[in-house]
Amino acid sequence: MRVTLLALIALCLSVLSTTAQDTTVQDLMQSHRAVIEKGSRTTIEPAISALAESGLPAVQRVLQKWQAKDMWQRNADGLFFYGAEAEDRQVRLFDFADDAEIGLFPKSELTQLKPNSGVRALIGAALVQFQLADPNPERRRAALLAIQRDPDASQLAPLRASIADEPDTDIRAQKERLAQLLTIGYDKDEAQRIAAIEAVSGSLSLDVRATLNPLLQTRPMVAPANETPSANVARFLQPGTADLSAGDAYAMLVEAGLATARATEADRIAALAANIENGAVAGIPVAQLNTTENRDRAYAALVAADKAPPFVTEADVGNALTAHQFFEVYSDPSAAVTTAAAKALAATDRTVGFNQALDLALDALSLASIFFLAAIGLAITFGVMGVINMAHGEFIMMGAYTGYVVQQIIPDYTVSILVALPAAFAITFAAGVAMERLVIRWLYNRPLETLLATFGISIALQQIAKNIFGTQARPLTSPAWLDGAWVLNDVVSISYIRIAIFVLALIFLGVFLFIMKRTRLGLETRAVTQNPRMAASMGINPDRVNMLTFGLGSGIAGIAGVAIGLFAKVTSELGSDYIVQSFMTVVVGGVGNIWGTLAGAAMIGFLQKGIEWANPSNTLAAQTYMIIFIIIFIQFRPRGIIALKGRAAGD
């Protein structure tokens, strides 16, 4: 019986408490009724703070409706409700406490509260504590994003309070990170700020730099020379140096009210002209004011009569500058905080520099893999056969167009790329064999005629491509799994297409080495390369080897065209963009040597990226510098990085 009575009493108290809370929300709003009705940003903050700190369950709804301009006041009794507009200029009102419908009221009996942007910003800041604990994780993420965009000191306490009860691991990490940044910027405890700064020292995140940089912002100040500055001084400035000119220093004194503004010559002339009386200024005839001495006397008389501002001489300026000290002060008053921030940013700069070098190296490696793909086929034809094939770039172009045609037939981009690679090899292999049989075989040991003939074939192939596909660039779309980039941090990233091309280059390297070291064709090719006459005497057909070798080099160029077409525009001029780099790669690396081609591609790729980094505004100049460097390099090492003995080396 006693237990039942206690339960009944508890239930009654609960009901009474709930009722009290429901009415308290309205009572709290009524206690701040005047400022809520006024809706001024300068006076509304106490009302919003009182609501946010009350802990009442209906407060979040009040703030949300108020911010959304859905709060209405009944003119008859001044009570606040939220409402939705209905037909016939009526509004359906609801109670904040329990969402109970109050009824339909004409607009003429109500006043809609429309907070301006400043008031809405204050309401939004107050809503943060509710949004950070919202059951919906998307709303919590949105709240964190809102804090990141517009951080404020008032958000730190509710953000910290929400971390302990955060169930989502990712959101919890975001909250901890954001609380750390807000601690740096707004915490009143100096020790906590310094600890937070040291925790992010060396971080690459842009939000960390955005938080630390304002702490180190400075502004110039001036004070008497015999006073010790009370502000957090960043450095002292010496007037008359590059840091602070004497004119700017004196202007600071004038602005601070510590010196008299200097009258310019134009000001003096204007003052003299304004005080002409009876053909004279201060008793000096106007006709005599043609000398500096007389003008100075006249102006001094005007100053003595308080008719003109005093004239400041150079000596006066020097004395004023000597009597004052000039310095820059940090915007943050704590010297310990700014010292820690400076050390953290210095560590960050070192980390950024290292990662920028790593990012540049990845870009260079990616470019080197592209050059290697473009040049490997040329290394075979030029290195083994000694044929200067100016149409090599057009085989790359043919491979890219083959990929485009296959994608028109097979809409699945992954399948189409897998089909396009062997198709491009087959088509360009056949074209290479045909070219060798019809043209090249008749021009062996005649390099000038070979160059001219292949150059003519190059122009013809470009024109054929224009006639078939037009002059506009054609898309060669990469599969969806190659979209995006591999992001290591805020500085280092590389696209998945570049990674795929790098892997493809490694595969080609392995396949080529297998062919040359483990197959009969490779054995015969190496024999013909070293000594074609001896190879022929051993039963090897040099013509057949040359034909297959030329076809193999052309086929590899076709596959390279498919890979290059995934990130470059596919046009009839695609091959001409890579023919020069291909020849440079082969010549610099060492004619007829696959490892030399690899070394040449790496050298040219890193060299080009390095020159572009040093001269980013002029890519044409970067190309020129690279060619000049290669010409100089060849003068000292004409056989390339890795020289090969035999016919290809000129032996």
Tell me: do 263 and 156 sit in the same domain: no
Residue 388 pLDDT? 82
Q: Which residue has the higher pLDDT, 379 or 95?
A: 95
The domain boundary, picked from 181, 216, 251, lies at 216
| HEC assignment per residue over 302-340 | HHHCCCCCCCCCHHHHHHHHHCEEEEEEECCCCHHHHHH
* Domain count of the fold of the chain: 4
Distance of CA 650 to the CA centre of its chain: 50
Residues 6+ apart with CB under 8 A from 289: 272, 281, 295, 298
Alpha-carbon distance values, 165 to 159, 178, 394 (Å)? 11, 16, 64
pLDDT tens readout for residues 158-185: 888 889 888 889 999 999 999 999 999 8
**Is residue 340 a part of any domain in this protein?**
no
In the sheet where 324-330 sits, what is the strand order? 218-224, 324-330, 233-237
pTM: 0.65
Tell me: do 114 and 234 sit in the same domain: no
Residue 631 pLDDT? 82
Tell me: do 540 and 453 sit in the same domain: yes
Tell me: do 307 and 362 sit in the same domain: no
Is the pLDDT score of 646 beyond 70?
no
Give the Cα separation of 492 and 355 in Å (integer).
6
The domain boundary, picked from 73, 100, 121, lies at 121
Tell me the CATH number at 526: 1.10.3470
For residue 86, give the H/E element and its range: strand 80-86
Confidence of residue 456 (pLDDT cuts 50, 70, 90): very high
The domain boundary, picked from 121, 151, 167, lies at 121
**Is residue 196 a part of any domain in this protein?**
yes
Find out whether 524 and 385 touch, Cβ atoms under 8 Å: no
pLDDT tens readout for residues 86-121: 888 899 999 888 888 888 999 888 988 889 888 888
For residue 236, give the H/E element and its range: strand 233-237
Tell me: do 223 and 145 sit in the same domain: no
Is the pLDDT score of 231 beyond 70?
yes
**Is residue 2 a part of any domain in this protein?**
no
Tell me: do 206 and 223 sit in the same domain: no
Closest CA to 547 of 391, 430, 625, 634: 430
Residue 266 pLDDT? 77
Please provide the average confidence, as pLDDT, over all residues in the chain. 83
Q: Which tokens hold the place of 302?
A: 């005007």
Q: What value does the mean pLDDT take over residues 361-366?
A: 89
Q: Which residue has the higher pLDDT, 443 or 466?
A: 466
Tell me: do 296 and 377 sit in the same domain: no
Residue 1 pLDDT? 41
> What secondary structure letter does DSSP report for 55?
-
The number of CA neighbours under 13 Å toward the Cβ of 259 is 28
For residue 125, give the H/E element and its range: helix 117-131
Tell me: do 301 and 196 sit in the same domain: no
Residue 383 pLDDT? 65
Is the pLDDT score of 380 beyond 80?
no
Tell me: do 372 and 510 sit in the same domain: yes
pLDDT tens readout for residues 621-631: 667 777 788 88
**Is residue 345 a part of any domain in this protein?**
no
Residue 441 pLDDT? 84
Q: What value does the mean pLDDT take over residues 40-67?
A: 84
Is the pLDDT score of 14 beyond 70?
no
* Residue 385: domain span: 352-649
pLDDT tens readout for residues 252-288: 888 888 888 877 777 778 888 888 888 888 888 888 8
Confidence of residue 336 (pLDDT cuts 50, 70, 90): very high
Q: What value does the mean pLDDT take over residues 208-223?
A: 89
**Is residue 389 a part of any domain in this protein?**
yes
Residue 435 pLDDT? 92
Residue 12 pLDDT? 40
Is the pLDDT score of 401 beyond 80?
yes
Give the Cα separation of 554 and 426 in Å (integer).
9
For residue 186, give the H/E element and its range: helix 169-186
Q: What value does the mean pLDDT take over residues 588-603?
A: 81
Q: Which residue type sits at 450?
A: T
**Is residue 38 a part of any domain in this protein?**
yes
**% pLDDT > 90, the chain:** 15
**Is residue 62 a part of any domain in this protein?**
yes
Confidence of residue 643 (pLDDT cuts 50, 70, 90): low
Q: What value does the mean pLDDT take over residues 237-250?
A: 88
Residue 13 pLDDT? 37
Tell me: do 87 and 158 sit in the same domain: no
**Is residue 4 a part of any domain in this protein?**
no
Q: What value does the mean pLDDT take over residues 499-520?
A: 86
Tell me: do 210 and 227 sit in the same domain: no
Is the pLDDT score of 460 beyond 90?
yes
Burial of 623 (0-12, 13-18, 19+ CB in 10 A): middle
Confidence of residue 379 (pLDDT cuts 50, 70, 90): confident
DSSP-derived pairing of the beta strands 80-86 and 90-94: antiparallel
Tell me: do 144 and 257 sit in the same domain: no
Q: Which residue has the higher pLDDT, 585 or 313?
A: 585
Number of H helices, E strands in the chain: 25, 12
